[in-house]
Amino acid sequence: MPMWGSLGLQDSASPLMEQLMYFHDHTMFILIFITTLVGYIMVNSAFNLFINRFLLENQEIEIIWTILPAIILIFIAMPSLRLLYLLDETNNSSITIKTIGHQWYWSYEYSDFLNIEFDSYMMPYDSMSNSNFRLLDVDNRVPLPFNTQIRLIVSAADVIHSWTIPSLGVKADAIPGRLNQISFLVNRPGLFYGQCSEICGANHSFMPILIESISVDSFLNWISNNSELFS
């Protein structure tokens, strides 16, 4: 959960987000190294009164500053390609959930379990308690078992939305007439917040997403207790 003054990424709750954070740190290390080196050379050159008369059209330097950036780009590109493969990989999912974006709420379908369906609206301010988060809590949370591969099918009923959970490292556009698919695994229990990440109208900021990661037994109990309520 991000707080005021937090400059880093949210704590990861999935293997995908862990890999994204590793790649972020890897790339930032390279960028900081390059920025420091170039800054040192610029400052040193600005205060240095000496001139190298053999530096004009120096072929060795031309070769070095052409090959060296290419090698650096390879060190960035290879982990990036690996990460893209991991993000697009679809494993054998245990549970399939469909979510549909509306103006301005989300609806969910647990089609694997007796067609459980419900809508998830942002909780009004006057019905909140001290433990709720303003603009982030919803009336119907999305229960998911942790350590279970989840497949999420995303679509929209009216305009383009975007289903996003930053701590899980997942983001998929909800496009009318099209089904997008993402796969993820939550590796610990907890509450994980997200919001629509595509400007979808006047109340774009008021359609949050809230996943409640619970154990498999608790999830099955929720399914059995609510199959008649939501069907």
Residue pair 15/185 in contact by the 8 Å Cβ criterion: yes
Q: How far apart are CA 120 and CA 116, in angstroms?
A: 13
First and final CA of the chain: distance in angstroms? 32
Global pTM?
A: 0.79
Where do the domains of the chain lie, and which CATH numbers do they carry?
15-88 (1.10.287.90), 95-230 (2.60.40.420)
Q: Who's near 205: CB < 8 A, 6+ residues apart? A: 135, 195
Which stretches of the chain score pLDDT less than 70? 1-5, 89-91, 227-231
Provide the pLDDT for residue 100: 94
Per-residue pLDDT tens over the stretch 165-221? 999 988 999 999 999 988 888 998 989 999 999 998 898 989 999 999 999 989 888
Beta bridge partners of 207: none
